Amino acid sequence: MAEQLQGTDGLLGHVVRLNVAVDRVLTEIVGASSISVADYLVLGVVRRSPDHRSAPTAICEVLGRTTGGMSLTLDRLESAGLVRRLPDPGDRRRVVVEATELGVDLAKRVNADLHAWEESLGLSDAQREDLAQAIGRLTDAIDAAPDRLATSVP
């Protein structure tokens, strides 16, 4: 087993600190538009889908969410006028979620605010690319790792 370097938080410690910091920033920036981070993520998936439409199950797959939790999020977004549920033209037993003009505009505005925050970090393009690649490699390694929780719990 690898020893933790003295005087460091270890890799996991740094990832946890990064997660807390990013969550704080996301909550602040997204919250200024009176929606939650979960709402923004769903709205972002729908906005980037062809014709700003997506099946709820597809949104769940992209975000790793359950259908029950997704229904609650879609209810909030629909009552705020940011999305609407429409009958699926290929199977009328199903629905598709479509971002409204208001929803698309809100998602674009929040996205622009997030990019402005990112720019305010003062990192060069090369630094941002290096960090993005390193975080991507770490994410891939975590995704590829076997589920150790099932075997490590007594």
Q: Which residues contact 56 (CB under 8 A, 6 or more apart)?
A: 67, 70, 71, 74, 95, 97
pLDDT at residue number 48: 95
pLDDT at residue number 129: 95
- Residue 4 confidence (pLDDT) above 60: no
Higher-confidence position of 2 and 16: 16
pLDDT at residue number 89: 85
- Residue 50 confidence (pLDDT) above 60: yes
| CATH level 3 topology of 25-147 | Arc Repressor Mutant, subunit A (1.10.10)
Q: How confident is residue 91, by pLDDT bands cut at 50, 70 and 90?
A: confident
Residue position matching structure tokens 């709205």: 43
Query: Of the candidates 25, 49, 50, which has an alpha carbon nearest to the alpha carbon of residue 110?
Result: 25
DSSP-H helix ranges across the chain: 10-31, 37-48, 56-63, 67-79, 101-120, 125-144, 149-152
pLDDT at residue number 147: 73
pLDDT at residue number 58: 94
Contact 77, 63 (CB under 8 A): no
- Residue 152 confidence (pLDDT) above 60: no
Strand-pairing partners, residue 86, are: 96
Domain map (residue ranges) of the chain: 25-147
